[in-house]
Structures are given as structure tokens and as C-alpha cells.
A and B are shown apart, each in its own frame.
Chain A
Amino acid sequence: MTYITKPKLRHKGLATNELGFTRRDYEGSISTLCAGCGHDSISSALIQACFELSIEPHRVAKLSGIGCSSKTPDYFLGNSHGFNSVHGRMPSVLTGANLANRDLIYLGVSGDGDSASIGLGQFAHCVRRGVNMVYICENNGVYGLTKGQFSATADKGSKSKAGGINTDSPIDLVSLALVLGASFVARSFSGDKKQLVPLLKAAIAHTGPAIIDVISPCVQFNNHPGSTKSYDFVRAHNEAVNRLDFMPAKAEITVDYEPGTVQAVTQHDGSVLQLAKLHQDYDLHDRAATIKYLHEREAAGEVVTGLLFLDAAAEDLHTHLNTAEAPLNRMGAKELCPGSAKLVELNATYR
């Protein structure tokens, strides 16, 4: 049910969006994470993105698994329903929620342990099914909540705070998402709000699974020298392929980048992404080339960020399932129950 939002009276000075909401209306409970935790910056970017998009806060459902990262949905969008589910299984819970009501915006928040270790299977399957969602992996290379063990994204050879060396190869969720057919794949850094906010806005507008791997340093267990998930390392090795600007469907399209370096991409819902290419030869519609490029840069010790791949015409799971336009959770006996006369007919076929 869409409820008519009434703009509230506001203190002077607090900026409001098109719906009359202030940024504060998109905030949540006070965070209990460590001061300086990358995850909090991501929450704040999400608040900013939803505020700027003028999304009715209650039209968002936030789902997560278990971990410090998965706690964060409590700390943004306090007027949205949230679900802190079980470790590694956010994708399935979100898929079910999405099947029940296709009208909401689904934010899935997870960690690298949650997505790449225990939940790798569910990550893969929600991507290949094409669930319409924003999938944010807050990637710190460790299990924060259980105090610093390596996760499956930890680099080979990286050192834990306790001194252990990781000997296993890392899983790169971005490459994996590309292979699995994700239609929107991005990587960013919790410390780079300028890049992250437009990426989140574009992801929300995208139809289909929008995967964003956000490197998000854990100040407790993985911010020491030598960690590739530390603030210093990412700042020094960040290789952004493009800069993104997001235009909602209704906005007038203006081009203020250098002609020739700007690419405008229209998404399903009519919104337009303006991409300022930082690397002239980078084509974000070529899946195979993207995979190759990522591997090359990784070998050179760089962390590639930006919108890495986009199929703007992607379909989602509901299209595949041919589900009714009206949300299933709103249907009652009238739409769902075939009635007694039909049952009499059916009985006859079993004699």
C-alpha cells in the first residue's frame, strides 16, 4: 500500500528533499561500531543517497546477514523495516521478501565473511537469478565481529593483527559477480563518499542485482601496515576507472564534463548515469574485457574502483517468473482461492 506522505514542518536551515524530508529522516539508531569503522561511512553514504533520491524511507527494506557490517541496517533508514537474519543467508531472505512484494526497494547489506565465506553459495545464486536488489558487501578482509580471523577475501600473504599469515587465495566478489552474470558491478571505498554516493544512487535505480563491493577498513583488526584493506593502502593504490554522476529520470540532463570523456547511460527506469571516463579505453559494457582489465590491474597491485560493468537493459527474477504486477502479499482469497465449484471439478479428475 502506498501511503501518501505529508511533508512535515521543518526547522529552518535543515535542507529538505523533494518529498520534504530532511537528511535526518533517513538516519537510524546510533551506531555501536568502533569509531572510525569503514562500515559507518557506508551507512552515511546510504543515508545521503536515499535522501538525494527522495525515496520514501518506508519504501525500502533493508536485509542483512550477521557481522559488524550486517548490524549497520539498524543505523540508517530508521523508518524502513530491517531484518538482521542469519550468517551468510541474507540473499535468500531478501529473495523471498522480494518475491512477496516487488514494489519495495531492497538493500542487502553483508560483509566479506558473510558473502565470500559462509554465504558464497547464496551470493552466487541470487546474482544468477537476477534478484532486483542492491547488494553491498562491506569488505574489510576479516571477521570483525568475531575478532579478526581472516575472511575469504583476505589477500594471500596478508598478516592478521594476531600475527598469523593467510595462505589461502582470496575470492574477488567483483570478478565473481561478473562471471555469474550480474548486470551492475561496482567497487568503491568507504572513505570515498564522492564516488560511493552516486554509485549507490545508480545501483538503487538499477533493475536487477546491483553488486557493490566496498572496501571498508576494520580499524580494530585490519588497518595495520601491510593490509591491502587498510585506509592507507587503498588511498595509495586506488585506480578509479570512471567518475559517476546520477540523474534521476525526471531531472534535466546536463553535461558538464569534457565532451568526449562523458558517456551517458540510460537505465530501465529512465534515470541517466553520466560517466566521466578516467581511462579512455575502458568500456563498461564489455563483460569479458572488464574481467581481463581487473586481473591486469590487480597484478599491478592496484585496486580498481568505479562502475565496472553495466547492462542497463537487464531483466529481473520477476520477469523470469512472469509474476503479476501487483505484489503477491497484497492478494487475498479473491485472487488466490479457486473456490468450491472448481474443487468439485478437480475431484472428478481423481476418480
Chain B
Amino acid sequence: MPQRLEATNDFVVKFANVNGSGSASANELFARCILRMGVPVASRNIFPSNIQGLPTWYEVRISGEGWLGRRGGVDLMVAMNPQTWDKDVASIEPGGYLLYDSTKPLPPSKFREDVNRIGVPLTEICNRTYKDPRQRQLFKNIIYIGALSALLDIDPAVVETLLGEQFKKRPELIAKNVQAFKLGFDHVREHLAGACKLKIARSDKVGNRIFIAGNDAAGLGAVYGGATVCAWYPITPSTSVAEAFTKHCQNLRVDPETGKNRFAIVQAEDEIAAIGMVIGAGWNGARAFTATSGPGISLMQEFFGLAYFAEIPAVIFDIQRGGPSTGMPTRTQQSDIFACAYASHGDTKHVLLFPKNPNESFSFAADAFDFAERLQTPVFVMMDLDIGMNDWLTEPLSWDDARAYDRGKIMTAEELEKGTVFGRYLDVDGDAIPFRTLPGTHPTKGSFFTRGTSRNRYAKYSEEGSDYVDNVQRLLRKLETAKTILPKPERRDAKEKTPYGVLYFGSTAPAMDEAMAKLEGDGIHLDVMRIRAFPFADEVAEFIHAHDSVFVVEQNRDAQMMKLLVNEGAFDPARFISLLHYDGTPITARFIQAAIAERINLNTHKEAAE
């Protein structure tokens, strides 16, 4: 008998399924059960660009210590897809477990000597109990959840409560699901007691945190942030932002008296039209956004430039993925940094925000509308598939009722009537942000003609080079103002003084937290800084200057963030060590830890030899 991995509240379960088989909701039920037992989980979907038939995986990391990044490796594989069987079996850690459907006998060559087999005759149980093929398929998923619960000591009462909540509106389904759950649960209790040494024990480490996907949170953030116009074109992994906005608007934004919508959502004919609508709405004073991914960002380029030069507020959620369109649409990356920071033609530069988790996806989404209107410019919320489409355990969302929307500098009819001087591109108070008027404000004062750049401070037509320079210099100064209001970077210093710093951003955060704790445990000390916005705050430069070597951890091939730093801060590239993870899976603590330790040990040895 192989060795058996033993662990309580600290292991990885991976489900291998076929896309479209109804496994997703069963697997999510599994993750929620563990959360309800007070044990933190991090779950990730690995799915194909396909609706039915291709393989899909769901990975659940159970971490009593609360590490939410992807760990890597699999301790218990729930192998429900014959297509991927060999690869799935090969990925199990030695001493790990393989839960499989044992209805049809499999030759010994299909197994590994060093992996523990847990066979449950799922198909047989299903066929015995259900006649309808669709029911057989669906309940098979619940049966393996029952089996898992018995193996891992998940409290069946918790599962029943969750099923009750899930099917509140269709109570006839509760008993059926509970029955299926029991079939699996009882089978394991009877035949496989003690087969697995991985256990869930009740804990209190979840607290009041919630389990939500970043796109859902961002859609809700747009509702709280006062967005009224959403124009979008479907593209994975961004679609669920618009869908979430729609869902939350229907719930929260329908006038109770008239039944009319305080929002307008248009599925545009393409991304060019989507961003055009957003810019038209922003020009006209509504808070408007689009959600897209890399291919959409490419199509929107011309309009980004127009919005930048004509100074029109717009919010763009970029849920990043691998490129191009036939690239890795269902895999995560942070590879649109260049495409967004300098989007469009001419001398442009844009505001980017980098939320680290769904909680920040919510708050940055709402803040983005304030920044866009204050700065009168497009604001990009740079998310990725990992944050956007996976449920993450995150702090509950919060809102300050005293908060007012910052609508920026808008000159009113009263001010115009009083005779206040209006120049659309006039910097009246030194922050480089001019006043704007909204269409329809005053019968004879304050109207202007919006065009790209061929105009003077009063929006009168001009092709003078000096007017152009004056304007684009002001636009640069406006980005200095941006630095003062955008989210500051977060810095955590090591317990001991160190020549090493680490910069990171976005969805790398949970893996980074864990890697830093482990490195510290190994006596390797680094100061860390999480970048939250571009243009970079001055603190970022201070941090870089304060260290001999700075690791920049990112999820793309070309070290885009590092190069952006070099470009903007005129730093010596030799200061930086890039740690790049870009195979489409979320970055892991193991990767970061190993890469940093290797580099630092290498340096220490070099020093010793010198």
C-alpha cells in the first residue's frame, strides 16, 4: 500500500470534469461547504473555450492558514473525465488520492503505485436510482460530493443547509439533491471508511468574509459608483462584468414607483461601438463604462486617444487574458499593460488601476468613476481572468453613505450667467484640469465644439503648433494631479533591513503574501510594495531607490510592468530582476518563493566567492 498523505485543513482537491456536464455548481457547493465549516478555500476554474464537451478543471485549495493563492500540485484528484485521465493521474502528489468511478474495471496500468485509489461505483449507483439520463448526469455530481464529504469529514448538516438555500425557490429539488448526496456519503461510510487521511476540521478562520468573483464585484461597484450607461460586446473573461451590472441594476436600480430603469445597457455591435457609446455618454455627463478584454482593447484604440485628447471621462474594465483572439481566451495573464498605458496614437498616457482581489474590484470600480470625472480622462481598471472569473474569499464589500460622487469640474448655467469665464481647455487653478460644460446648459453661453486637438484653450479652431504644445503639456501636468488622487502603493517592510525589494500588482497578491511569509520563515527578508495605480506614485520611485535589487513579479512574458517603470522613472534596468509567470495558470506562491530564494542564494554565494 502506498504512503498516505495526511493533512487537516491544508491540501488541494482538483476536479477533472467535462465542460457542460453540470459539474460546476456541484463543485462550487463543495467549496462553500468547507467555507461554512470556517475553513478558508481558494477555488479556481480552468476551463476551455468551448460550451460542451472539452475538459474542464476546478481546483480547490483548502488552507486553514488562509493562503488564497494557487498552491500548485494536487493531493486529491476527483477524476471524472476519461479524456484527461492519464494527465490527471500523473499530476497527483506521491501519497495522494484518486477518487474515480469504479463501475467499469480499469486495467492496473491506468493507476499509479504511489497513489491511493478510492473507487466509488458512481454510474452504477446512478443507474440503479435514476431512469432519466439527464438526472443521472446531474446527480452523479452530487453523489461524488457526498462521497467526498464522507472521506473528508465534511458535516452533512452543512451540505443540507446549503442545498436548502440554493433551491429555496424550487423546494422540490432540495430533497432530491439531499438524497443523491446521501447515496455517495453512505456508500463511503459503509465501504471506504478510513480511506483518506485528508480531513476538514471545523475552524473559525473565515470570519465574515464573502466568496465572490471579481467581475461580479466590479459590476456591483459600478452600480454603487453611479454608472448609468454600460455599452459592451461579449468577450471572455469580461462578459460577466456586464452581466453582473445588469443583474444588480435589475435588482437595485428600477424605480419602484414607475418601474422604469435608472440605467441603460446596450450590447453593441462591436467594441468600437461600445467605447463610442461610452464616450458619447461621458461627454454628455453620464457615468459610463465598458468591459472588455485584450482583443477589444485593440479595437478601441482610436477612441481612447480621442477621449484622452478631448478630455472625456470613461471607465474601461480590462479583464486580461492571453492573446490573441485564438490565443488563450480562458487563461489568465497580466499582459495588456503596454496596450493600455499608452493606448492609441499620438502622445497618450492613461490612468490604470490594479485591484488585488474582488473587494478592491468593487471599490476601485466605484472609485474609477470619480477619477474619470475628476480627471476628465479614460480610466482603466486592470483586472484579469483569475480575479474576474473565480470566486475569491474576500473582505465584505463596504460603502460609506456619507460619500458623495465627485463629478469633477462642471460649470453650471448659474456660473455662466454670473459671467464666469469659460474656456474648455483653460487651466484656471493650476491642477491642469479645465472646466467643462454639459450640452444643454445655457442658451447662449458655455457651448463649445469638441474635437481632438486642433483648437486653443477656448476650444476655437487652431492648427498653431504653440496651441498644440500648450495643450499636451497641460495634459501631462494633469497626470501629475492624477498621482495625488489615485490609490497609493502599499508597502510592507521586512523585519530586518534588506537590500532586496519586491514590486507586484493585481491578482499576484495572495500568492505573494504566502511566498513572503514562507521566505521570511526561511530567513530571507525582502521589503514589498504593491503597485495600485499608474501613473506611478512618487513612493514607487522612493522604494526602488531604497533597494539595490528590486524583483518585479508579473504574469506576462515581456516584463511589461518593469519596462513601464524603467520608461517612466528612468531607472537603470539592471536594478530590476523580473519574475515572470505566463503559462496561463495563476501564479503560485511556490513559484515566487523558489525563484526569489534561488536568486538571493545565488547572489549570496557569489558574494562569498568574491
A binding-site residues for B, Cβ under 8 Å:
1, 3, 5, 25, 29, 32, 56-59, 61, 63, 73-74, 78-86, 89, 91-101, 103-104, 121-122, 124-125, 129, 317-318, 321-325, 328-333, 335-340, 342-344, 346-347, 350-351
Contacts and interface: CB of A to CB of B under 8 A. Distances in A.
Given A99-B229, A336-B262, A346-B220, A3 B443 contact: yes
Given A93-B283, A332-B405, 19 more contacts: A3-B443, A29-B449, A58-B439, A83-B451, A86-B303, A96-B229, A96-B283, A96-B288, A97-B280, A100-B228, A100-B285, A100-B288, A101-B284, A321-B264, A323-B260, A323-B263, A338-B253, A344-B396, A351-B210
B447 A80 contact: yes
Contacts of A95: 231, 266, 273, 276-277, 280
A96 B447 contact: no
Contact of A101 (B223, B285, B306): B285
B159 to A, nearest CB: 15
A122 B276 contact: yes
B264 A92 contact: no
A341 to B, nearest CB: 8
Nearest to B265: A321
A97 B284 contact: yes
Interface string B239-283: 000000000000011010011111111101110111111111111
B439 A101 contact: yes
Given A3-B443, A96-B278, A104-B440, A325 B258 contact: yes
B398 interface: yes
A97 B264 CA distance: 11
B437 interface: yes
Nearest to B305: A86
A222 B331 CA distance: 53
B442 A58 contact: yes
B145 interface: no
Contacts of A101: 284-286, 438-440
B273 A125 contact: yes
Contacts of B36: 351
A339 B401 CA distance: 6
B286 A324 contact: no
Interface in B404-454: 404-405, 413, 437-444, 447-452
Contacts of B279: 85, 93, 96
Contacts of A79: 443-444, 447
A95 B451 CA distance: 18
Nearest to B212: A350
B549 to A, nearest CB: 41
A321 B36 CA distance: 40
8 contacts: A82-B447, A89-B303, A104-B440, A125-B273, A324-B260, A325-B258, A331-B228, A336-B223
B302 A86 contact: yes
Contacts of B269: 121-122, 124-125
Interface string B368-397: 000000000000000000000000000011
Contacts of B439: 58, 61, 80-81, 97, 101, 104
Contact of A56 (B210, B437, B443): B443
A98 B231 CA distance: 13
Interface in B213-246: 220, 223-224, 226, 228-229, 231
Nearest to A25: B444
Contacts of B288: 96, 99-100
Q: Which of A317, A343, A350 has the most CB of B within 10 A?
A: A350
B211 interface: yes
Interface residues of B, number: 72
A96 B276 contact: yes
Given A100-B284, A101-B440, A92 B272 contact: yes
B458 interface: no
B280 A94 contact: yes
Contacts of A332: 226, 405
Contact of B260 (A57, A322, A343): A322
Contacts of A347: 208, 210, 396-397
Contacts of B278: 96
A342 B252 contact: yes
B98 interface: no
A351 B35 CA distance: 8
B461 interface: yes
A262 B586 CA distance: 72
A93 B401 contact: no
A335 B284 contact: no
Given A84-B450, A93-B279, A337 B440 contact: no
Contacts of A89: 272-273, 276, 303
B282 to A, nearest CB: 8
Given A92-B272, A336-B262, A97 B283 contact: yes
Given A324-B261, A328-B229, A58 B447 contact: yes
B162 to A, nearest CB: 10
B542 interface: no
Contacts of B281: 96-97, 99-100, 328-329
B172 interface: no
A93 B449 contact: no
A333 B443 contact: no
A114 B177 CA distance: 58
Instruction: List 10 A-B pairs, minimum CB-CB distance, nearest first.
Output: A96-B280, A92-B276, A100-B286, A96-B277, A81-B439, A329-B285, A100-B284, A93-B280, A96-B281, A350-B210
A129 B265 CA distance: 12
A340 B266 contact: no
Interface in B180-221: 208, 210-212, 220
Contacts of B226: 331-333, 336-337
A318 B253 CA distance: 16
B261 A321 contact: yes
A317 to B, nearest CB: 8
Contacts of A330: 285
B210 A99 contact: no
B261 A99 contact: no
Contacts of B210: 347, 350-351
Contacts of A104: 439-440
Nearest to B314: A96
Nearest to A104: B440
Given A100-B280, A129-B266, A340-B401, A3 B413 contact: yes
Contacts of A343: 224, 397-399
A96 B285 CA distance: 10
Contact of B262 (A74, A318, A335): A335
A331 to B, nearest CB: 6
Nearest to A349: B210
Contacts of A97: 280-281, 283-284, 439
Contacts of A91: 273, 276
Contact of A338 (B231, B252, B268, B461): B252
A125 B405 CA distance: 33
Contacts of A73: 449
Contacts of A322: 259-261
Contact of B461 (A29, A78, A96, A337): A29
B400 interface: yes
B399 A99 contact: no
Nearest to B276: A92
B29 to A, nearest CB: 14
Residue from the set A59, A79, A329, A332 with the largest chain B CB neighbour count within 10 Å: A329
Given A96-B278, A99-B277, A99-B286, A340 B400 contact: yes
Contacts of B261: 321-324
B354 to A, nearest CB: 23
B265 A328 contact: no
A351 B278 CA distance: 34
A324 B255 contact: yes
A323 B268 CA distance: 17
Nearest to B35: A351
Contacts of A93: 276-277, 279-280, 283
B288 to A, nearest CB: 6
